[in-house]
Structures are given as structure tokens and as C-alpha cells.
Structure 1
Amino acid sequence: MISKELGKQTLDAAIQSSELRYRRLFECAQDGILILDFKSGKIVDANPYIINLLGFTLSDIIDKELWEIGFIVDQERTKQAYQELRLSNYIRYEDLPLQHKQGHIIPVEFVCNVYDVGLEKVIQCNIRDVSDKQRLAETLAKSELQYRKLFENAQNGIMILDYKNGKIVDTNPFILNLLGFSAPELVGKELWEIGFMLDKEVALQAFDELKEKNYLRYENLPLRKKYGQSIDVEFISNVYEVSDKKVIQCDIRDISSKRVIAQYKNVLALSMDDLVNALVAMVETRDPYTAGHQERVSELAEAIAIELNYQQINMDGLRMSAMLHDIGKYTIPAEILTKPRTLNDIEIAMLRTHAYESFKILKLIHFPWPVAQTVLQHHERLDGSGYPNGLKGDSICDEARIIAVADTVEALTSPRPYRPAVGLDIALANILEASERLFDPQVVAICLRLFKEKKFQFTPQKGQKTYTVENVRGSL
């Protein structure tokens, strides 16, 4: 009798323990759970998660049928599902809309099972909020649509290859139009099998290299169109993962026109140089004493600009301005330019018109730099004593300040009809004395450093002595 009583107590304890564990799982579950009476379909229990998910209280839903509470959007469908559940003991909806008490819709995964508890059947409905999953799916779908639009409308050719075998799995319209093939002619084929790659062995080697490095680029690769024409392309291949699967994307850009433009730019640059040289030669025929002057001024101006960290595009503009700064001397009578004696006031005034005459010529040429303005200002001085407009200080552009110093040093170290070359030491002393008053002090300091420390030398004049720090009588 005692042993039976102990056995019963043990069984009761086990049942209580089991019920407690179930209750804990029920209360703490991170899915919603509803328990329904099998016969009536009424809710007999609900866990906290489903209460919080839908905004109802426990009293709002206990002893109610699913379709009479209001969170089921489609009541007729729910009644049919209930009858189906009674017959099959299982139903599942992957994306069922439930309505929150405040009215907004929550998509859920809804799974119901029928099972036995003692001699009675009960229905357990497990409800999982799939809002995040649905948002992720919508985001992925949107992303895929955006990618597809980019892929279809790209103005470069794109091919997607299978990583393992190198076969083409997708192509965009641009590459089809570029090469003249149709999609069925390319998809499922290997790159080297189609024929538009001119060198099959190179293509095979490139494929192996791509699989090893995950990246490959050719700046100028010849491809052959369907009907034999050859075009030059930039060919870039990358390996990346899509859903844990590696794929290869080949981006192909037609550079045929780019190559033609580059050749045109080279020809244009050469033509510009030829134009400059022709204009310089035109002046030098009237004033042979200044032959090479503009070129040497350009050499020193560029050296100064390098010390000032000029960008290449600005350097090119400075070089052009320096090469042409005396172009207006073509309008000055040759007898004044080559006069072996000091010029009188009228002749000096006439000579000084060359800056404006240079401007008048150069403003008609559409340079990508302010060449005409720079040339106009190269005889202006910081204190306003220069010409032709008596500009002061910041009104004078940087390029004109550089050329002013370079022009002065070169002119003083070269002979003129009315005087011999004065020597580099005197020329440097001249600009140093006039620093801040006439010349930009930073430009002067750099010019001095170039000659004294960096051993700058002008290109030698024919038949003239080369002046350097070493052969000048003294130093500053």
C-alpha cells in the first residue's frame, strides 16, 4: 500500500515537472502559439508572444473562434482551412496576413497541427512573424531588378561566365550589338570557342590566371566581330560570389574611338607646338639678337613652376605663355629691334607696345589657358611702375610674375645690340634688389636657389659663353 502511494506521488511529480517544462517553453517561445479546442475551434490558450505581436489582450481572444476575433483578414478562407485541418490534421500557410488590433497588417507563417492530449484532440497553431523575411525578399527582388536594369542598359559590354567551365551564362544587349552575335550564339559557349578572341591560347592562359588571381585586365585587346572586323577593347574580368557560388563578370569597353581621339590629340598637340615654333621664328627673323630668348625664358619659368609644385596642365600653360611672350615684337620696326645704340624715349615707347600687340594676336587663339592675359602682364611690376597698364600687386597673375623674373634674368645674361651680356651675378643681384618692389619675392628666392644650389643652366647660345655660378665673378 505504501509503495503504491509512493509510485503515485512520483508519477504526479513527473507530470507536474513535465507540465512546468511545457509551460515554460510555451510562455517563453519566440513564436506565437494558440491552442484551440478541436471540436469548436475556440481558442483555449495563447502565449505572450502572440499577444504582443497582435496587440490583443488574453481576454480579447480566449474562448473566441479564430474568424470572430478580427485578426484573420480572410474569414471565409479561415473557415475552410479549419475544416481542412480537421480532416488532414495539418495545414500550413507561408505568407498569411494577420491584422493587428490597431489595423496594420503583419505577414506570418501559420502552421497548425492536431494532436492528442489524453483522450481529447487539441489544435496547436504556431505563428511566426515573417515581416523581416518578407522585407528582405522585397529588398532582394528590388536589388535584382535594379541590377537587371543596369545590366540591360549598360553602355559597356557585360558577359557572365560560369566559374568552373568558363562558359557564357548571360550577355547584355550592348555586347551583342558590339560584336554582332545573338544571345543563343554566345550563351553556353566558352570564350575561346566562339571565335571573337583572336588568340585561343592567350584566352586559355588568361582564364587560368583569372581563376588564380580573381582579376584580369587588358587595356588594348583585339576582338573580332561576327563578320570578321577587328575592334580594340578594354577587357576587365572579376570573380565574385553569388549565393556561395563563384561567377565571372567580364566588362568590355570599346576603345576604338578613344584610340582615334588620342591620336587626334597627339596630332593637335604637335600642331600647336609647330604653330608656336612658327610664331617664335617669325619674331626671331626680325630680331636675330634675341634668337632663343623666348625658349630660354620658358626653360627658367618651368623650372620655377616645378619648385612651386605646379600641376602639369598649368605648367603647359605657363610654357606656352613664356614661348610667346614677345610675339608682339613682330610689329616693331627691325631697325629699332636691332639698333646698336641706346633707344630714345620715342623708340622705347614704341618697343613697349609689344606686350599689348602680343595680347592682340594671342587673344584670337582659343588656348585652354589664359595665355593672352599672361603675356599682356609680363612687364607689369608689383609697385605699379610696369606697363602697359601699370598694374599693382595681386592684380598681376602668378604666371606673369614668374615670366617677369625669368625674362629679366635671361635678358641680362644675354647680349643685345646696344650692350654685352652683364653676367649672371649682376642679373641675380638685380632681381634680388628689386624683390618685393618690382618682383614677387617667392619667385625671386626660387630663381636664386635654382642657380646657386641646383645648378640651373640655360640652353647655351651659339657662340656665347655659358654663365653658371662657377664662372661668375662673385656670388650674392
Structure 2
Amino acid sequence: MKDTPFHDPDQLMLAQADAGLVLVDPASGRIEGLNPAWPQWLGRSKASLQGAVFWEEGGWQQPDVVRTLVSLTSLPLAMPPMAVTGMTQDQQSLSLVMSARSVNLADRRLVLCTLVRSSLAQAMSISSSVAETALMGVVQALITVLEVHDPDSIGHQRRVADLAGTLARKLQWAPDEVESVVLAALIHDLGMVTVPARVLGKTELLSQGEVKQIQKHVSTGLDMLQHVEFAGPVKALIAQHHERIDGSGYPLGLKGEDVLRGAQVIGMADMLDAMTRDRPYQSAQTMDQALQVLLVSSGVLFDADLVQACVALFVQGGYRFPGP
């Protein structure tokens, strides 16, 4: 069969590009336009995909991951490329790297998704499980976005996750609960990407409005994760990591046993790391000083048994936060 002749260079480049280009309406997910590459890889016709819902019709192994990447383009920050896995028409795995960015068409905001084929080995390098690979790809991408927005937070999510996971294992919690705690800790401050950098870097006293902006990061982070499916109570842990058992926390002012123990562990780790590193508004305290503050909170902000176990991890167990 002869190749179709092209008279428009732009059309020629789109047709011959070795990358899938898909224009998506972020609200409905409808495909507004696409070049031939992605349909060819799927073994489907371009016409069958035009107008379909992008994250449903591609046979994605984790459509929620694709939907999340599209939805996150609404942030004023660039998301890094992410490994995703689609399914061809004959049910073969298709390993891709996907990037997405917001574009304007007249008065409409659309999302341009670029898909590039990758080797299966590359796509599976994080984990032997496709689902875990995709999920960890989302988590790592979100951490990167947050640290670009707030350089002072570099390493914070990972340090909190390391302490929270270590303590949960020391307490002999079930492996699935430990995993949920670690995942939640890795992205507990995700909503901070919507707080202006000038507020995060402010050295003087915050105004009441600025405090509310920062506190809103909990609900904002949950909104950003609405299309991501986690196996355990990851979202509940994120929602509660600033709750305190005396009711003084936020956003709901939960009390006592209503505050999940995993959320308390993340809260303690968050507090200790925040106190022992330099921040724009405070100099770092020593770990001994921070542990004394934590002890004062025993039975007030956090469950007394959890506080004692955390302090013992440092004092008797010799735990220290990992380096950068």
C-alpha cells in the first residue's frame, strides 16, 4: 500500500512521529485529537479512539494512574514523565512513558499527553508488580513536584516515611498496615504544592489567612489523590496526620481513638523531623530537645504508648533519620 501523500509539513510530522500525541479534555476525559502512533501500538483504529474517554479506552492496567496524571496538570508546576502500562487489543502489555501538560485551545484548557514506548525492563525496574510500579511512579512523581516547589522540604517526606515505617515495624504491626503508613508518609504534605512559595519561605509571623492556606494542604492533597486507588487506608492517614488526640488538631478536630494510630505515628515523625532541621522560621533543635518536646505531648497530642515506643526507638534503639 502506498503512503498517503502529505502537503502540510505539520500534518506530516504528526503522522510520522514515533510518539503518541493525545489531546484530552481534563474534565470529561474525552479524546479531542490524536496522531496515529498510539492507536497503531494498541492495534486499534484512530477513529475508534477519537472521542472516547482516554483513561478508560486505552486498556490501561491502572487507569486511575493515567487519570491522576491528567488531573495534576491543573497545578502550576510540571509533572515529570511517568511509566504506565497499557494493554493492546490482543491483551499484550504495552510499556510506555507518559508526560502531560496543560495547553490552551481558544478559550479552553486541554491536556496534551505524550506517550513514548519503553522497554518492559525499564518500566518494571521499581517492582516486579505492574500495579506497584505504576503506584510508586505516581508517588515518586508527586514527591519530586513537591520538592521542586518547596526546596526546604527536600528529603522531608522520605525521612518521615523512614521513621514512621521503622516504628510501625518495631511495634510489629501487620505488613499491610506498615505499607499504608509508609505510602501515606511519603506524600503526606502533597497539598503544600498549592501554598505560595512566599508563604512557605516566610520568616516572620504568619497571618491568620496564611495559616489557613497552610492548613488547607490536607484537603488539597486528598483532592489531588482522588483518582488514585490505594490498597489500604492511605488517604485516611493523610487526612489525619495533623489530628491530635486532645482535639487540638486539624482539619476535623478529631479526638481520642478516632485518630488512627498510623496517623499519629506519621504526626510524631513529621513533628520530630520539622523540629530537627533548619526552617525559614526556626533554627534546628537537637534530637534530645525534640524528644523532650515529644514526651511532653504524651497522652495529650499522641497516645502515650506510641510516644514511649518512639522515644525508645531513638534512645535505646539508636535510630537516627537517614541522611539526604
Q: Specify the TM-score bucket, using the shorter chain as the normaliser.
A: 0.5 to 0.7
- 1:316 positional shift: 1.1
Residue in 2 that maps onto 1:349: 212
How many residue pairs match? The answer is 200
Equivalent in the alignment of 1:302? 165
Instruction: Say whether 1:369 aligns with 2:209.
Output: no
Judged with a 3 Å threshold, the aligned counterparts in structure 2 of structure 1 residues 415 and 310 are, in CA distance, closer, same or farther, namely same
Instruction: Tell me the secondary structure at the aligned position of residue 419 of structure 1.
Output: coil
Q: Are the structure 2 counterparts of residues 378 and 264 from structure 1 closer, same or farther at C-alpha, using a change threshold of 3 Å? A: closer
The answer on 1:290 being equivalent to 2:153 is yes
The 8 Å contact of residues 296 and 458 in structure 1, kept in 2 or not, is answered as yes
Which aligned runs of 4 or more in structure 1 are off by greater than 3 angstroms?
A: none
Which position in structure 1 is the counterpart of 2:196?
333
- Given that residues 374 and 397 in structure 1 are in contact (C-alpha distance below 8 angstroms), is that contact kept between their aligned partners in structure 2? yes
Amino acid at match of 2:228: I
| Deviations 1:84-138 (CA, angstroms, capped at 9, x unpaired) | xxxxxxxxxxxxxxxxxxxxxxxxxxxxxxxxxxxxxxxxxxxxxxxxxxxxxxx
Equivalent in the alignment of 2:80: none
- Aligned residue among 423, 434, 448 for 2:311: 448
What is the aligned partner in structure 1 of residue 177 from structure 2? 314
Contact kept? 1:362, 1:371, Cα under 8 Å? no
The one of 250, 258, 273 aligned to 1:395: 258
CA distance in 2, matches of 1:413, 1:275: 28
Deviation, structure 1 residue 315? 1.2
For residue 285 of structure 1, give the secondary structure of its aligned residue in structure 2. helix
Q: Is structure 2 residue 286 aligned with structure 1 residue 423?
A: yes
Deviation, 1:265, is 5.3
**Contact 2:127/2:133, CA 8 A, preserved across alignment:** no
Alignment partner of 1:384 is 2:247: yes
Render the CA deviation track for 1:386-439: whole Å, top value 9, x for unaligned: 000000011111210111111111110111111111111111111100110111
1:132-174 Cα deviation digits (max 9, x unpaired) = xxxxxxxxxxxxxxxxxxxxxxxxxxxxxxxxxxxxxxxxxxx
Structure 1 Cα separation of the partners of residues 290 and 127 of structure 2: 43
Contact 2:167/2:309 (8 A) holds in 1: yes
What TM-score do you get using the length of structure 1 for normalisation?
A: 0.41
The one-letter code sitting in structure 2 at the alignment partner of 1:308 is L
Structure 2 stretches of 5 or more lacking a match?
A: 1-125
How far apart, in 2, do the equivalents of 1:328 and 1:337 lie? 12
Query: Quick check: which has more Rg, 1 or 2?
Result: 1
1-side partners of 2:321 and 2:172: how far apart? 21
Query: Which residue, 274, 283, 291 being the options, matches 1:411?
Result: 274
**Structure with the higher fraction of residues in strand conformation:** 1
Alignment gaps of 5+ in structure 1: 1-262, 462-476
Once the two structures are TM-superposed, the CA of residue 377 in structure 1 deviates from its matched residue by 0.5
Residue matched to 2:295: 432
What letter is aligned with 2:150? D
Contact 2:139 2:187 in 1 (8 A): yes
Pairs within 5 Å for 1:252-267: 266-267=129-130
* Aligned partners of 2:272 and 2:290 also within 8 Å: yes
Q: Which residue of 1 aligns with 2:141?
A: 278
Partner Cα distance (1:357, 1:364) in 2: 13
Whichever residue aligns with residue 226 of structure 2, its letter is K
Displacement after TM superposition at 1:453 (Å): 0.8
Q: CA deviation at 1:274?
A: 2.0
CA RMSD of aligned residues (A): 1.8
Which protein has greater RCO, CA pairs closer than 8 Å, 6+ apart? 2
SS at match of 1:422: coil
Q: Report matched runs for 1:18-167 at 5 Å.
A: none
